[in-house]
Amino acid sequence: MKFFFPDSQDQVDPTFDFQTEERDPFRVRQRDDLYAHEVLKPPPFNGLLVSKAIVDGTAGSSTGKYTLPQRHRLYRQGAREFFRLDNGSAPLKIMGDCGAFSYVGEEYPPYTVEEVVSFYEGCGFDYGISVDHVIFQYEPKVLRTDEAAKEWVRRQQITLDLAAEFWQRCSASDVHFTPLGVTQGWSPESYAYAVVELQRIGYRRIAVGGMVPLKTKEILACLRAIDDVRAPDTQLHLLGISRVDEIPTFAGHGVTSFDSTSPFRQAFKDDRDNYYALDRTYVALRVPQVDGNAKLKARIRSGEISQGQAMQLERAALARLREFDRGEIALDAALEALDAYSAVWDGKANRSSQYRDTLENRPWQACDCSICKKVGIETIIFRGAERNKRRGFHNLHVFGQRLRRQLGDDDRD
């Protein structure tokens, strides 16, 4: 089972100083920054998934996450060198897709098959996913002849037509990457239907799309339906799915790879599951920067609270947490400082009991990942990109451990 991590230019800056919160001004983004696979051992994933939408943007609207100089260097050097795939303790694979979620609202995908083949081949990818158009809905009872299915059938047909063209172009120009077709559907039957078509075209690797909002049992229903038509040598890739507990079950249905950002994103997007431990999660300790919190800034500008007071509470919260970490003060003193600062930037949510749970268990002290080992309690403080991304990396590390445990792999390296 291979886990791919979708790249979104997520790196950490090794020059960042947690005390002063300053960095080396001469550091060059991406070049001097480190990827998770360069920081963690073993690398927490088997490969990166890189979207054309993130690198190039879409012609009409977004401009992508890459600067023009970065994009040109990626093309000059190729993905292996640009992403430093061989820099970790194990080399990584690289998979390309179009980033269909970025154009889900469009009538038609914004890329031509030719552009996409060029992108994969030009960057030197190992796997390339055909151009697809996402179907969001899940309605197992709706037949393809029903009026309600009209738009879904249209999207599925676009995806299949583009997959046929993609296959043809890949074969004709003898590309160096392995092409994957995409099955999109709204029901087990419709997913299976698309798999039949893709296998007829020639695909033996198929990415299953549009399943992110589905419940596990719905995913399993689709996989079972696909099983009925799947050739024995056809391998499946689950797009955007990270349910670790189910991975062995998925594997039984021909799934050999998947990708997900959720262990990383939960670190700073989730309300409570911010910090992974092997068997549970913790809420991170929120200490936002006074000038990084929009609500607090507005209150200061209006004169409602004084900036000096807010800064004092912020500094006290950080100082108490570090003292607590070193065993110099009791839990209650640290918690009080956290709560006092929370009261000025976030009057509503009271996370006191969750914070107590996190502090009592000190999970950052138990973690053996290189990030927790190096920066300790800073990992679990919810504040600014450098801490939040490190916590995301830590989560990837634990996710990798959970995954290997689920699959019965030896976890020691």
Partner 1 sequence: MTTVTKQGDESAVAASSGKVLHLPALEIRQGPNRRLYTFAVDGKQVPSFAAVSRVRRDSQQQLHGYQRPEVLAHVAAIRRYVESDDRPLLPNAIVVAFDDRVRFLPADTASDGPGYVRMGTLVVPVSEDWEDADKPGFIVDGQQRCAAIRDAEVPAFPICVTAFITADQADHRSQFILVNSTKPLPKGLIHELLPAASGPLPNQLRVRQLPATVLERLNFEERSPLRHMIQTPTNPAGVIKDNSMLRMLENSISNGVLYRFRGSDGTLPNIGLMVTVLSDFWTAVREVFGENAWGKPPRKSRLMHGAGIISMGYLMDAIADTNSSGEEFPDVQGFAAGLKTVKDYCRWTEGTWDLGDGIPRRWNDVQNTPRDIQRITDFLVSTYYAKQGKRHERSSRLF
Which range touches partner 1 (CB under 8 A), out of 3-11, 28-36, 277-285, 348-356?
Answer: 28-36
**Binding-site member from 19, 60, 68, 217 for partner 1 (CB under 8 A):** 68
Regarding 303 and contact with partner 1 (CB under 8 A), the answer is yes
118 binds, among partner 1, Zn ion, none (CB under 5 to 8 A by kind): partner 1
Regarding 290 and contact with partner 1 (CB under 8 A), the answer is yes
Residues in contact with partner 1, total (CB under 8 A)? Answer: 40
Task: In whole angstroms, give the CA distance from residue 260 to residue 276.
Answer: 15
227 CB burial (10 A radius; 0-12, 13-18, 19+): middle
Q: Is 259 noted as a catalytic residue in this protein? A: yes
**Binding-site member from 145, 147, 245, 302 for partner 1 (CB under 8 A):** 302
Regarding 307 and contact with partner 1 (CB under 8 A), the answer is yes
Regarding 394 and contact with Zn ion (CB under 5 A), the answer is yes
- Among candidate residues 97, 357, 368, 413, the one labeled active-site is 97
Q: In angstroms, what is the minimal distance from the CB of 306 to partner 1?
A: 7
Regarding 390 and contact with Zn ion (CB under 5 A), the answer is no
Regarding 22 and contact with partner 1 (CB under 8 A), the answer is yes
Regarding 391 and contact with Zn ion (CB under 5 A), the answer is no
**Binding-site member from 14, 78, 248, 384 for partner 1 (CB under 8 A):** 78
Query: From residue 358 to residue 377, what is the string marking binding to Zn ion with x (rule CB under 5 A)?
Result: ---------x-x--x-----
394 binds, among partner 1, Zn ion, none (CB under 5 to 8 A by kind): Zn ion
Which range touches partner 1 (CB under 8 A), out of 22-30, 234-242, 370-378, 395-403?
Answer: 22-30
Regarding 20 and contact with partner 1 (CB under 8 A), the answer is yes
Task: In whole angstroms, give the CA distance from residue 149 to residue 143.
Answer: 7
Instruction: Show contacts with Zn ion in window 90-109 (CB under 5 A).
Output: none
Q: In angstroms, what is the minimal distance from the CB of 181 to Zn ion?
A: 38
Residues 195, 169, 211, 249: what is their CA dihedral angle, to the nearest 10 degrees? 60
306 binds, among partner 1, Zn ion, none (CB under 5 to 8 A by kind): partner 1
Instruction: Show contacts with partner 1 in window 161-220 (CB under 8 A).
Output: 176
Q: In angstroms, what is the minimal distance from the CB of 300 to partner 1?
A: 5
Q: Is 97 noted as a catalytic residue in this protein? A: yes
Q: In angstroms, what is the minimal distance from the CB of 93 to partner 1?
A: 17
Do 91 and 140 contact (CB within 8 A), yes or no?
no
Residues within the interface to partner 1 (CB under 8 A):
20-22, 25-26, 28-29, 31-32, 63, 67-70, 72-73, 75-78, 117-119, 121-124, 176, 289-291, 297, 300-304, 306-307, 311
Binding positions for Zn ion, rule: CB under 5 A: 367, 369, 372, 394
Supply the residues annotated as catalytic: 97, 259
